[in-house]
Structure 1
Amino acid sequence: MTIAVGDTLPDVVLHRATPDGPEAVQSKELFAGRKVVLFAVPGAFTPTCSIKHLPGFISKADEIAAKGVDEIFCLATNDAFVMQAWANAENVGETVTMLADGDLNFTNATGLKLDLRGKGLGERANRYVMVIEDNKVTHLAVEEAGAFDVSSAEAVLGVL
């Protein structure tokens, strides 16, 4: 079953990428009591993710914050070391918090998995964006396979 608008997020362990190394965090605590945007990508350093998706949220971070968003998160089914290296390569700074879902805890619990086995990529997070308010999904837009439209920073600005 795929998570939907109005649902409460699952409480799972994620890993936040930090310059000092991975930090385990409970999703319930991470998203409690605030409004956040979470966008997911199939993988760090992959073409659409690096050329369009992450850079769009970096460049629009101030506009998103101006709409009442407390924090922007980028989730990928990579480990926290890869997520930190990607953040460094893309000069993310403090604009986006990088979350690793290397065990697919969040991805499996939300039903937002993309099966790329046979293409050398395994199982990954689908490309999507969600707006979360105090652990409740208030907006969810999931991309069709290979597409990049409804989960962009520009698209989420239109619904905030």
Structure 2
Amino acid sequence: MTVNKMVPFVTFRTRVRDESIERPNPYRWEDKTSDDYFSGKRVVLFSLPGAFSPTCSTYQLPDFEKLYDEFEREGINAIYCISVNDAFVMNAWGKALGSQKVKLIPDGSGEFTRKMGMLVAKENLGFGMRSWRYAAVIDNGVVEQWFEEDGFSDNCETDPYGISSPQNVLEALKSFQTAAAARPGRVNISQIP
């Protein structure tokens, strides 16, 4: 994926809490689309190889959660974490980590990840097909900034992490905002008498 490209349109199968369901597990299926997540807002999306995995659970998701308010101050409306895991796993992981602000997107079939060009084999870890680690700033469905870890490959022996870290994304976002503010205003030629 590169900057200035639209994110792919897919439908995600999510599970949402519904108190009207009278059973011990009050959740129902709800389809969400790329438009639901990305249209009309500026968001950070980050992807990782798997819920409950060490780097993802110790650093990546918790640090995005901790820095959420700073991202908001930089004009970000939402932060999404996506992984090639089903809705049950993503919900359980979010609950286990106490995630309140970062929203988790289940890409159970890997369709979104594949269309983003980020699907890799992880058979060497017993995972099957998963996402390469990356992050993006997305404005109204268009990739504005892209942060992909080095070494993109199937069955990579390492799990690179740093380029897509929340600290790096936030720093780049601040630099982007500063550079945008420093640019002189543009004049619309049609408005000149």
- Is the TM-score greater than 0.5? yes
Cα deviation, 1:42-79, whole Å, max 9, x if unaligned, reads 10000111011101101101111111100000001000
Letter in 1 for 2:118: L
2:85 aligned with 1:72: no
CA distance in 2, matches of 1:58, 1:65: 11
What per-residue deviation string (whole Å, max 9, x for no partner) do you get for residues 113-150 of structure 1?
Answer: 12102331101011110000000000111112511101
SS of match in other structure, 2:112: helix
Structure 2: distance between partners of 1:26 and 1:17 = 13
The alignment covers a number of residue pairs equal to 157
Please list, as runs of the form range in 1=range in 2, the aligned pairs for 1:1-160 lying within 5 A after superposition.
3-19=1-17, 20-93=27-100, 95-145=101-151, 146-160=159-173
Q: Which amino acid aligns with 1:15?
A: R
Greater Cα offset, 3-12 or 143-152: 143-152
Aligned-CA RMSD value? 1.3
TM-score scaled by length of structure 1 = 0.93
Bigger relative CO (Cα 8 Å, ≥ 6 apart)? 1
Matched residue of 2:114: which SS?
A: helix
Percent pairwise identity: 36
Shift of 1:22: 4.3
Unaligned segments of structure 2, at least 5 residues: 18-26, 152-158, 174-193
| Larger-gyration structure (1/2) | 2
Structure 1 unmatched ranges of 5 or more: none
In structure 2, the CA distance between the partners of 1:44 and 1:21, relative to structure 1 (3 Å rule), is farther
TM-score (norm 2): 0.78
- 1:4-50 deviation line (CA, Å, top 9, x unaligned): 10101110112345333443211023200110000001100001110
